[in-house]
Homo-oligomer: A and B are copies of this chain.
Amino acid sequence: MSPQPANRTARSRDEILRAAIDLCAERGYAAVTMEAVAARSKVGKPTVYRWWPSKGALFLDALMDRLGERFLLYPDTGDIDTDLRTWLRTLTEVFADERHGQIISGVIGSAQLDTGLARMIQKQVHTALAAVNRARLVKAQEAGQLGAGDPALYDDMLVAPLWYRMLVTGEPITSEYADTIVSILTHQFSLPDPAADG
């Protein structure tokens, strides 16, 4: 997503990203070092630094490489309820997947300590994501499937609880949780009565 693949260059890039992912699976995000990534991928450390200024940036790229398309292809069956549910479940699965979740929380965690990385996330992730999300929501509003209201707020309320559990409380992120949130948003935001439906 950032370096242009040239001949040998492209291979290096892939090997570095793979090494990063592999090491993360083996030792956990926190224990991965740039040094280990360089060693595993058989390149010099300066080569790694030429392309990525930090571990966070490297993993952000690795993530985009593997998951980017999955998020940018927003589902559109015509029924907003179904689509939001599908979309949020996708997010849930990724978050809950040990391998990806670890990287995601690690990258977001690193970004709290690294302004540059935070900016990269803005640019590479949020802008793109917000665009597709909001486009779909506006379309649903125009189709009368969703009440009026700032789509950005819908969007926040939809994904924020997942992030909250991921980053703050550590509680499990399940598809039931995702479904409940979608239901609240689409069904006039009325909270389910736990006595009535569990």
| Interface class of chain A by DSSP | helix
- Give the residues in chain B near A11, CB-CB below 8 Å: none
Specify which of A105, A149, A165, A180 lies most central, judged by the most chain B CB atoms within 10 Å of its CB: A149
Partner of A188 from B112, B150, B180, B188 at Cβ < 8 Å: B188
Binds B, one of A62-70, A79-87, A154-162: A154-162
A88 to chain B, nearest CB (A): 13
Q: Does A9 contact B (CB under 8 A)?
A: no
The bracket for how many chain A residues form the interface is 35 or more
Knowing A167-B167, A184-B189, A189-B188, the reply to whether A149 touches B111 (Cβ < 8 A) is no
Number of copies: 4
- Give the residues in chain B near A194, CB-CB below 8 Å: 148-150
The complex places the Cα of A167 from the Cα of B109 at a distance, in Å, of 8
B160–A164 CB distance below 8 A: yes
The complex places the Cα of A163 from the Cα of B167 at a distance, in Å, of 9
23 A-B contacts (beta carbon < 8 Å): A105-B112, A106-B113, A108-B168, A109-B112, A110-B113, A112-B112, A122-B170, A126-B169, A147-B190, A147-B191, A147-B193, A148-B193, A148-B194, A148-B196, A149-B190, A149-B193, A150-B191, A157-B161, A160-B164, A163-B163, A163-B164, A163-B167, A167-B168
Question: Can you add 8 more A-B contacts, CB < 8 Å, to A112-B167, A147-B190, A157-B181?
Answer: A108-B168, A110-B112, A148-B191, A148-B193, A148-B195, A148-B196, A159-B164, A163-B167
